[in-house]
A and B are shown apart, each in its own frame.
Chain A
Amino acid sequence: AQTVTQSQPEMSVQEAETVTLSCTYDTSESDYYLFWYKQPPSRQMILVIRQEAYKQQNATENRFSVNFQKAAKSFSLKISDSQLGDAAMYFCAYRAYGGSQGNLIFGKGTKLSVKP
């Protein structure tokens, strides 16, 4: 069974600095999708960035980028120029490719605090 592990329960970063959140996963599949979701106190899960496993190039969305290491099964999220609004729970998620396996498998999350 696939699993997703986030080893950092809490992280803190100074405003305008850069922070990296770690995620590792376990799967025997070769094709899959990886996501980072943000959950602020409003509770709504917001998609931050996604990565297709078959793509070598790391995904980037404005200040958010990932370091995808397929062989190591690692998928870290880098937040540059951190802002107060980035404070939230961040969840790494895996989704299998194809068929009926459409559900997301989440890690336990990393709580990110941003200091002014």
Chain B
Amino acid sequence: SQTIHQWPATLVQPVGSPLSLECTVEGTSNPNLYWYRQAAGRGLQLLFYSVGIGQISSEVPQNLSASRPQDRQFILSSKKLLLSDSGFYLCAWSVSGGTLTGELFFGEGSRLTVL
């Protein structure tokens, strides 16, 4: 069966520090990968998605970037965190098949607090 792992689960960082959140998927090949952010009182916001190694699409211009160095690894990064980057970050995957229309499966999330 497929599993998705996301770490760290909790992170407290000072403003201006770098960020790296990692996500890996097991049990499937060439998945579509996604990063979402969930802010308090707001819906889920799609930040990035990837349909293959090195292929990153950005949905919202911001202080963050994403990379996909391996087939089942997705990384969310920032060079300098802002207070507004605080939130709950969720990695997700879906079966590829050439489209983004498959069922979405989420990881456990990473809680980021920027002070």
A and B pair up: no
Chain B interfacial positions (CB closer than 8 Å to A):
none
Chain A interfacial positions (CB closer than 8 Å to B):
none
